[in-house]
Structure 1
Amino acid sequence: MNEIVCVSPVDGREVARRPAWSDAALAAALDAARSAQREWARVPVPDRVAAALRFLEAIRALNPQIVPELAWQMGRPVRYNGELRSLEERVRYMAAIAADALAPVRPADARPGFERFVSRDPVGIVLVIAPWNYPYLTAVNTIIPALIAGNAVILKHAAQTLLVGERFAEALAQAGLPDGLFSNVLLSHEQTARLLGSGAINHASFTGSVAGGKAISRAVAGTYTTLGLELGGKDPAYVRADARLDHAIENLVDGSFYNSGQSCCGVERIYVHADVYDRFVEGFAAGAAAYVLGDPLDPATTLGPMAATRFADLVRAHTADALAKGARALLDPAAFPAHQERGPYLAPQVLVNVDHGMQVMVDESFGPVIGIMKVSGDAEAVRLMNDSPFGLTASIWSSDLEATRALAEQVQAGTVYMNRCDYLDPGLAWTGVKDSGRGASLSAIGYDMLTRPKSYHLRYTL
């Protein structure tokens, strides 16, 4: 019998083990979802919104349990209180805009004797394949809008965060959803591929690697299942000569190392104007050196272990490649007592003398290492920012709004920030370009991904 197992990065203990579902159990869940969804689609939008807000209250009540569970499952320090604040912001925003976002669209040219409008009907069954790095936020981006839009949801969560799907199921049950409308399924990769290829799913949302996105695209080939893919990035930052350096340093250190760098929109490479480069690097290195690496259950810890040794090993390989090619490391790992040469505990590292011949500047590291490169000005910075197969987010640090706006138009990214980074605004579409994916979640546009247009052309006769 296949089993899904979560092994903790904290000390290697087994956190949870669950049997994978049988094909028969999955088929029954799909049948129940279709039946429940037909009834749920008839429920008025305000009542669906009310259920989403009840879910929010239930998940809030579970947060004292969720926070240490996250530490055990994927290593995030308990001092950060899980993901509740951002989760609440997203749920409340999508609930607040639902009535307008899901309202029928009426042509501007009213015609006597006719009623004409386009409704936004639910697509049906939505499959959410969620990752471990932000296991609540990445999942809620689709789960709650999909339910509010009138869909049924099947959640397949990552093995590393096995308990997260159970908490979603618990909170949604407390919210009073109809039986079968939401299912937390435990599937192998092979079962997931068969499900995607079966045509039983109307829309699938996946957050993960480029390789995973390609595998999912292959799995749905030949079906009419639509896809939303968020596939990570190599997100750049550019610090202009007119930036407020103290603000840029503080925020870019956090954007680079929060969650041990395991963030799709975390900063992975920084370009700094030559006029402020030395001061920036000095301040940035000091900020990174202040992290406390250790047990994520200890409130004093600000940097926990990476979610698995294999992820830390990739970061080690990128760092070693850079050093072998002439980069210089600014931090001594020995200053972080919990640092391991092998294993998931990895000290932060800041590299200078870097270039795009090094993996750390072009390949997704997804860990606590950052390369900082000196540039001569805007043109060189934009060229280097765009020299990547990824395009999720980018940030520009400057006191000149108009100059930043002009640069932002040239940057190839789904989101361009000014004087902030590593943040998802639910009022804006979360999307990427190039290998960072396709489709969008959140904002009113997110609802478009989870509904289908149906036109009504009604003529009155006397």
Structure 2
Amino acid sequence: MPADGGRDAESGKDHAVTTIRIISPVDGSVYAERPVAADSELDRAVVRARAAQADWARAPVAERVRLCLAALDALLAMNVEIVPELAWQMGRPVRYGGEKRGVEERIRYMGSIAEASLAPVVPAEIAGFRRYVKREPLGLVFVVAPWNYPYLTAVNSIFPALMAGNAVLLKHASQTLLVGERFQAAFDDAGLPAGLFSNLVLSHDQTERLIASGRVDHVAFTGSVAGGRAIERAAAGTFASLGLELGGKDPAYVRADAKLDHAIENLVDGAFYNSGQSCCGIERIYVHREVYKPFVEGFVDLARQYRVGDPLDPDVTLGPMAQARFADHVREQIAEARRKGARAEIGSAVAGDRPGSPYIGPEVLTNVDHQMSVMREESFGPVVGIMPVHDDEEAVALMNDSAYGLTASVWTRDADEAAAIGDGIETGTVFMNRCDYLDPALVWTGVKDTGRGAALSRFGFEALTRPKSYHFRLGT
């Protein structure tokens, strides 16, 4: 797998970098180019953020939420321009309309629970004492955002951080630089205090040096395992808290009692939407032997209906991967699996599908096992392996046979059985009869090499604040 896991790895030294280019996967052209911020500009941004945050932390939660919702409205108003802009930057077809729905759902929900989540916690009363715990903002939050869902992943931390009273610095992925500019314009339009949010174009070296400087209080990073380790090394000794969402190899288990047409439709979408470039996308499927054959037949038939091509064409359902090297990694996994005996159920070439090209068609592999990298190592592309199992126990053992643990889905008509199976799966989220979705009312987290920390729900606010106790003796 490429070092950045299909996302932006903040690692490596690049002192000579002065500009960053977006190379469009659509046609290989330079879509946009921006100068890297001077170190003096970065220093000014930190100073301004600290100054703005002191006043912002004293503002009522309702006022902070109001301005964040105003920024959301400004962002939504840009969607007509954002959709084709995303297609050019990272290849998602325009027919899917960008990330507007999920962005709005998450921000409005976090705004609706902000006051309750950030309210003081008052323990049982003791005569003669006043006791409570306040949630104080951490201070300066540094968000390092990925390209694959460049708005959705960023809002998970940016907006709750601001609602909680923090200042935010954003370093967006080089593949989607324009997203950071859109966020900046939205906050400026909303009238957010100057300096409270700053979008910065930074090199990897600048990113690491900022984290290591001790000038930020929390780092929210979405990217590869290698990138997460680089973040941890940079933060060592600073005592900054970290939120790390790293890799994924999310499994699905289809039980014999599953409603097959529903499972097929949703798992095909979960595997191939966004060309498989989703941290919680379906990358491996285990199916009970009793329904294995009809499931595979239906899955393959539906996968063959995808149309690969120019993402600006409204009829295209699968655009190019964000970079050619990501597509080449998928090709290598498929080739290795076939050498070891896997069967490629689709295998038909699509226009432009060749080594060195970001265009690659969907692939379904059967006759797979866990000696193949496609069943254990992150693919982050449009390929999925399907494997028969005898029972729940075998399915759980195989689902856990991975270094990652972000989500897992169980497809069954029995919620009690799904819960019992979920208790045995090493994962951050257990789904039943759905997949590849973030519910903002539930915490977004992972285990093992997927990382650590929490986003969304009240737990997301807790991760972006610190508790402060008040213990008063009265009447003395």
TM-score range normalised by the length of the shorter chain: over 0.9
The correspondence for 2:95, drawn from 79, 87, 93, is: 79
Query: Once the 2 structures are TM-superposed, how far is the Cα of residue 410 of structure 1 from its aligned partner?
Result: 0.2
Aligned-residue RMSD, C-alpha: 0.8
Rounded Cα–Cα distance in structure 1 between residues aligned with 2:475 and 2:392: 64
Q: Does 1:143 align with 2:158?
A: yes
2:347 to 332, 336, 341: 332
Contact 2:325 2:356 in 1 (8 A): no
Moved more, 44-53 or 1-10: 1-10
Conserved 8 A contact 1:333-1:339: no
User: Once the two structures are superposed, what CA deviation does each residue of 1:157-192 show, in whole Å capped at 9, x if it has no partner?
Assistant: 000001000000000111111000000011110111
8 Å CA contact 2:86–2:92 kept in 1: the answer is yes
2: distance between equivalents of 1:392 and 1:133? Answer: 16
Q: Which residue of 2 aligns with 1:416?
A: 430
Asked if 1:455 is matched to 2:469, the reply is: yes
**Equivalent in the alignment of 2:269:** 254
Distance in 1 (alpha carbons) for counterparts of 2:114 and 2:40: 35
Deviations 1:297-335 (A, max 9, x none): 00001000000001001101101100010000011323x
Residue 298 of structure 1, aligned match among 313, 325, 346: 313
3-state SS in 1 of match to 2:419: helix
**Pairs within 5 Å for 1:56-455:** 56-108=72-124, 110-334=125-349, 336-455=350-469
Q: In 1, distance between residues paired with 2:101 and 2:111?
A: 16
Residues 191-248 of structure 1 show CA distances to partners (whole Å, capped at 9, x for unaligned) of: 1100010000000000000000001000000111100000021000000000000000
Contact 2:140 2:167 in 1 (8 A): yes
Answer yes or no: is the 8 Å Cα contact 2:277–2:381 preserved in 1.
yes
Could you say what secondary structure the match of 1:388 adopts?
Answer: coil
Tell me which moved more, 399-408 or 29-38: 399-408
TM superposition shift of 1:114: 2.1
CA distance in 1, matches of 2:298, 2:356: 29
Give the Å deviation of 1:2.
1.2
Q: Displacement, 1:342?
A: 3.2
Q: Displacement, 1:56?
A: 1.1
> Which SS does the other structure have where 1:322 is aligned?
helix
Aligned to 1:41: 57
How many angstroms apart in 1 are the aligned matches of 2:182 and 2:207? Answer: 21
Q: Specify the SS of the correspondent of 1:429.
A: coil
How far residue 115 of structure 1 moved from its aligned partner, in angstroms, is 1.6
Give 1:338 deviation, angstroms.
Answer: 4.6
CA offset at residue 112 of structure 1? 2.6
Which residue number corresponds to residue 27 of structure 1? 43
* 3-state SS, counterpart of residue 276 of structure 1: helix
CA distance in structure 1 between the partners assigned to 2:467 and 2:390 by the alignment: 49
TM-score normalised by L of structure 2: 0.96
1:132 is paired with a residue of what secondary structure? coil
Distance 1:459 1:70 in 2: 58
Contact 1:293–1:338 (8 Å) recurs in 2 = no
Q: Deviations along 1:25-62, whole A, 9 cap, x unmatched?
A: 11110000000000000110000110111011101101
Letter aligned with residue 19 of structure 1: P
Instruction: Determine the C-alpha separation between the residues in 1 that align with 2:188 and 2:112.
Output: 22
Unpaired runs of 5+ residues, structure 2, are 1-16
Question: Partners of 1:391 and 1:332 in 2: how far apart?
Answer: 29
Secondary structure of 1:48 counterpart: helix
Q: Is the 8 A contact 1:395 1:421 kept in 2?
A: yes
| Contact kept? 1:293, 1:339, Cα under 8 Å | no
Identify unmatched segments of 5+ residues in structure 1.
Answer: none
Q: Please report how far the alpha carbon of residue 100 of structure 1 lies from its aligned counterpart in structure 2 after TM superposition.
A: 0.4
Q: Report sequence identity in percent.
A: 63
Aligned length: 460
In 2: Cα distance, 1:311 partner to 1:78 partner:
21
Secondary structure of the equivalent of 1:333?
coil
Instruction: For 1:65 and 1:457, locate their aligned partners in 2 and report how far apart those are by CA, in whole Å.
Output: 53
1:459: Cα distance to partner? 2.4
* 1: CA distance, partners of 2:455 / 2:59: 23
